[in-house]
Structures are given as structure tokens and as C-alpha cells.
Amino acid sequence: MRKFNRVLVISFFIFFGCDTSEKLTRSDLNDHWEFTQDGKDTWRKATVPGVVHTDLMANNMIPHPWIGTNELKVLWVENENWIYRKSFTLQKAELDRDAIDLVFEGLDTYADVTLNGKLILSADNMFRRWRTNVKDLLKAGENELQVKFSSPLKVNLPRLDTLGYELPAPNETVERKVSPFTRKAPYHFGWDWGLRLVTSGIWRPVYLESYDVARIENVQLAQKSLSDRVAKLEAVISIDAASASVIDLLVMDIKVQAKVTKGINEVIVPLEIVNPKRWWSNGWGEQNMYEIPVTLTQEGIHLDEEVAKIGLRTVELIQEADSIGESFYFIINGQPLFARGANYIPQSHFLPSVKDEDYEKLIKDASDIGMNMLRVWGGGIYENDRFYELCDEHGILVWQDFMFACSMYPGDSAFIENVEREVIDNVKRLRNHPSIVLWNGNNEVDVAWNNWGWQKQFKFSAQDSTKIWNDYVYLFRDRIPTLLGQLDDRPYTTTSPLSNWGRPENYNYASMHYWGVWHGPDDFDGYRKNVGRFMSEYGFQSFPSMETIAYFADSSEWRLDSDVMKHHQKSYIGNGMIAEQSRKYFGEATSFEDFVLKSQQTQAKAMQIAIDAHRLKRGHCWGTLFWQLNDCWPGPSWSAVDVFGRKKVLYEELTSLYAPVALIPHWEADQLVISLVNDSLDKIEGTMELTLLDTSGEETNLSLPVSSDKNSLVEVHRITRSKNFQNGVVKLILDEKISVIRTF
């Protein structure tokens, strides 16, 4: 039984009066929508949550953009405005509440919402939640709700004209780029692994919330201190009151009363958890979670309730100057962590189509192969609650980017205020999740501005360059961290990476995106030579399985120079790079099917070299997050799992590459070195079994005991290479069972 103790008596006010309060109720408004193109009067069935492209497909108005070159046939959709509407009926008794709010969990993106003919809100941010009181506009009987979505291009092209210069956004293939102005998933405008699909729609649920007196707006469980004896918390409860009143709160077994005024009120309730059980990352222990029920009442009448959850753990990000540069690593519950994982992107352009079971499979599989961290990349979305719940349950740490990637952004007051509200919304929604260990400002904006030649490419004047950079500094080094200081206590970094791969000395400093292989001149040996302090991006492309290729391309298109195959390759060097490296490592392909297999084997080879190199420099390097875990459409990309969940060769290899305890064979000149890496918190005692095969077919077998301390790297064997040596197998035996097998 978990014991909660009150540590502070909260003063309260007492007021009694006539009350007819009822519990908060939620009325789903997701059904029976219809839509039309603005300027037309033909209404068709729509699905909510959804986006216009899936509605158009369901009504046979456009082909599926993933197939063939159909992307080109649906580009017109982004230039149009779209209108959604529905009717719903209310009884007179339903209107007899103190407050009735209309809530949109997500509107993509520019949307004017009218209720019974009156404009009630204008949305301009896909990442925000929209709530407005509509009690006075509702009526008994039929009510009409309408949402008009304006094309992001139509909204923002005039802003581009007014600005006077173009803001860099290399992900957009069109000439005039509006994504920097649009608080919408950047990858919707195109990327080098995905199509351009600028969606619109009610992409998250919509509902009416009716309540009397007050409702719970948010519950923050702020961990103030943690020891093995006691955890001290503050339950910071935001209450939205319909009018001034006195309400009763029950937080676990602690009862308090508070006088509230109309609007948002904050009540702080101190808590203690005696002998707390900690939340641990994957492989280090149990993912213990505590449920903290919060109940809102008045005179014994139930008004609202929420069950908040917390996992108790400590997080530190160590960025300290040392003898060679600056460190970058996480300490979880007092233990330095070597991060093993990947970068995560949205699982589809059609975001409402991603189901709970898709999240569940992806996160469970990541946990099962030994991952302990995912980076939610800044060109996608702040993910659904279920994603973070699953990371909590499986011990997957989350590096959370804010949604900015590879672009410069405007600095006008309206844009900054919009971003501030976005940050507040999402941090409040996500901050109770123990899995989140880092907020990161953006993806590659700093290194892009300083290394990609944008000033020359876009012919910025000195004055324009200064303005653009100052806007960047203000947003990411001032406003966002200032807000985080008020909302949460997790570490924050302004950008990823903090160090660019172009100079040798930079591998001694902080986080690194290493693209010397692929975007640079390096071959795979570059992964061994160029290891940063924390490798938060690197990768190599491959093709998806033939089954996936058959989905989007007819067999007549199964060649690299076909229109469909070229269209699905979004990297400017993709097919050539894959062909060159696969030929080098696995020989000339005998067929297209053989090329596809070799592409996956080549990707796996590249990532094996990289991951081994990172783990073998443990102490210098403290993390390896390859690009990328998953896909958003079918095509060649850097992913380990394609959009249909089909696993590539790389994914199958990750079980051994990311094993928390593993033997890593590697060459140092003419010597074969076997190292034992132990990322666990246990001392390891086991057996190494080594088999060497020479060109004559003769085997040499060796068995010897191996051991290591927790969180360590140790060399366990070294052999001078024989001239006839061909290949080998090394096995790690733990508890009389084969733990990891590596071939070389």
C-alpha cells in the first residue's frame, strides 16, 4: 500500500449556499460530418478526426498519393479552401449548465469556426488545443457547426511578399516557401524521405464539455525532491471556474478547500510518498508509476475528476568542459546512461489513421530490441498521448524536439505569441511523463545558418542577416527557455546538433549529427573515425521490401530509372549512393529484387559499423540515435521499419547491436579485438565462445570467461590476424544461455 502524507496545511475558505451542480460531461462531436470544396455546393461524407485528403480518397475524388506518381495529381488540394460542417441536437435540459465549452484537440491549420452562424474562433496553429465557451450560442434543438479551412499557401504567400526576403526552407521543393510561417508539421511540405502533402482537417477529436461551478484544467505533478526514503511532490492543480465560488479538492487522501474566482485558478497541494519506488529506463529496472486521483466537489456534489500519473526519477544533462571539449550525457537516477535508440518521425502523413495498435507495436518492438531512447524529431508533431504513455510503460526515454526544423523563422510579435501558446499547451500536456528527459529547441537550424551557405544562396543583406539571426536567438535562446523555466524543470538545449560534423575538433563537443557518410565524402570507415560526444543523427538509406514496393509500383516499374522509382526517391543522391555502396560491400545485383535485398544489407552494414564505433568509444560518446526508426509513406529511406511495419534487415540486426550487454569484435590493424560493453547496472560474469574459420575451412575454437563491472567497457581478448583468416562468430553466454551472437 503506497502511503501519502500531508506535509503542509493549506488555509481555506468556507462558503455554503444553494447548489444544483452536476458532474462534468463530455459530448462527442466526431460523427456525421460532411465537407465540400469552398465555392462549391456538393457536400460529401467526411470522417473526423481526419484530413481532407483521406476524405477525398474515400469519396473517390483523388487517387491514393502513395501509389505511382499520384502525389503530382493531388498537389492541387493544398491550394484550395475546404469547409466542414455538422448538425447536432441538444435538449433544453442540457443547456442548463454553468458553462459549456467547445473543444477542438487539433485543427490543421488555418480554420474559422462558426456556431449557428457566428464566428467563435480562428485557429492558426496545428499544434494547439482550442477551447471556447459557447453556452450563449447553443440552443435547444438543432445546432449547426462549421469549420472553414484556408489554404496555408493562400494565407502565407502575402506574408512572404510583405517580409521582403525568403526564409530558407530546403524541405520545400516549390519556389515560394511558406512553411516557416505556418505552425504546422514541417514534413507535410516535403522532405528528403517523404512526399509533399499539405493537409487540412479536424485532425484530433472535437467535443462539448459541460460543467457547473468549475472544472479541472490541468494537474501538474512537480517532483521537488527524491530519495530512497521519501519523495516530495507538489500537485499544482489548475481550476477553471465558471464564477467565483468555494470548491473542495481531494488529492489522494488530502482534503482542501479553496476560494476561486472566475477563470483559471491555481491550487498547490504538497504530497509525500514514503519509500518511493523509482521509475527506470529500459533495462535498468521497473517502470513504476504512481496514480494521483484529484477530485473536485462542492457541498459533496461531484464536479470533476482526473487521475494524474507520475514516475519518480531524477534526470540530469551533463554538459561540462573537459580536457578535450564538452561532454553531453544523461544521468538517470544517479547513473550515467549510454543512450541506444533512434530518431522517430510521424507514422503517416494522414495522422488520424495511426491507431493505438500502431503505437503499441512500434514502442514495444523498440523496447524488445534494447532501445532506451527515441528522439521525437522537430519536423513532425508533438505526438499523441498514447505515444508517451507507451514510452512510460516500456522505459523508453524521450528526447522531445519542439516543432522547428531546417528553416529560419519570422520574428514578428504575432508569430512569437503563437509559438508561446504552442509551447505552453504542449508542455502542460506532456510534463507529467517520466519518459521525457529533454526539451530541444529545434532540428539543425543553428548549424544550417552557420554552415549551409544560406546567406549567400538567398543573397541576404547584412541587415537582413542580422534580423533573421536575432529573431532566431530571441525565440530559441530567450522565449522558449524562459517559458520552460516557468512550466517544467527538465533540461533544455537550444538546438540539435550543438556541434557541426564539418571540422575534426567538433567531434569533441556536445551533440552531433554526423552526415559525412551520405551528404559528405566519407565511406563507411568514416563512422569509425568520426565519433562525437552524443550521436543524435546519422544514417544510410535502403529500399523497403518487395512487398511494399509492389504496393506502389507495378512490376514494369521495378528498375531504378523508372518514373515511379525515381519519384519515390526523395533524396537528391539516393539511388546512386545506395547502388555504389551496395556494390562495394555485396557485389553487383543480379536483379531488381536482389538490389533491394543488397540495399538493406548495406544499410545494416553501415549502421553496424556506426553503432559499434559509438559503443566502443563509451566514455567519450554517450549516445547513438540513428536516423530513422520508421516511415510515413512507402519508398526508399533511412528507416529500419517501413510504413506498413515491415522490418528491414537493419531492424533484425539491432537485437544484437543494441543488446545492453554485448561482445563487439573489431579490428585494430592486424589484430582482432573483442570488447565487452555493459550498459546494465549489474556486474556481468559470463563466457565468450569464439569460432574462427580460415580459407581452408579449418575452425579454431576458443572459450574463456569474461566479466565486467556495471556501466563499463572492457577488452576481453586480442588475437593477431592469421593470413588465412576468413570470418568468425563470437557468442556471449550468460546464465548458461546464449545472450548475443555476432558474426564478422
Q: Which of 199, 90, 91 is nearest to 145 (CA)?
A: 90
**Is the bond into 628 cis (omega within 30 degrees of 0)?**
yes
**What cell does 583 get?**
556494390
DSSP per residue over 672-718, as a string? EEEEEEE-SSS-EEEEEEEEEEETTS-EEEEEEEEEE-SSEEEEEEE
CA distances from 541 to 98, 237, 342, 565, 722 (A): 57, 47, 14, 14, 34
Provide the 10 A C-beta neighbour count for residue 130: 21
Measured distance CA(315)–CA(331) in Å, rounded: 6
Measured distance CA(25)–CA(30) in Å, rounded: 16
Name the catalytic one among 209, 444, 557, 653: 444
The answer to whether 310 and 290 are in contact (CB under 8 A) is yes
Measured distance CA(447)–CA(500) in Å, rounded: 6
Residue with cell 533495462: 283
Strand pairing report for 339-344 and 141-150: unpaired
**What cell does 319 get?**
554538459
Cα 291 → chain centroid: 25
Supply angle C-alpha 695, 696, 700, rounded to 5.
85
Give residues with Cβ within 8 angstroms of 609, minimum separation 6: 524, 525, 527, 528
Q: Is 715 in the active site?
A: no
CA distances from 494 to 314, 327, 331, 343, 443 (A): 21, 16, 19, 18, 9
Q: Which of 723, 725, 729 is nearest to 656 (CA)?
A: 729
DSSP 80: S
Measured distance CA(449)–CA(442) in Å, rounded: 13
**What cell does 225 get?**
525532491
The answer to whether 387 and 363 are in contact (CB under 8 A) is yes
DSSP per residue over 345-411, as a string? --S-SSGGG--HHHHHHHHHHHHHTT--EEEE-TTS-PPPHHHHHHHHHHT-EEEEE-S-BSS----
Q: 413-430 vs 480-487: helix axis angle to the nearest 10?
A: 30
Ordered strands of the 4-5 beta sheet: 4-5, 263-274, 230-241, 214-226
Provide the 10 A C-beta neighbour count for residue 580: 12
Sort residue 587 into left (φ over 0), alpha (ψ -120 to 50) or beta. Answer: left
DSSP 105: S
Q: Which of 105, 147, 113 is nearest to 129 (CA)?
A: 105
DSSP 623: E
Half-sphere exposure of residue 147, counting CA atoms within 13 Å on the CB side?
31
Give residues with Cβ within 8 angstroms of 510, minimum separation 6: 319, 325, 326, 327, 328, 497, 498, 499, 532, 533, 534
Supply angle C-alpha 413, 419, 421, rounded to 5.
105
Burial of 733 from C-beta contacts in 10 A (0-12 / 13-18 / 19+): middle
* 3-class secondary-structure state, position 339: strand
Please identify every residue annotated as catalytic: 444
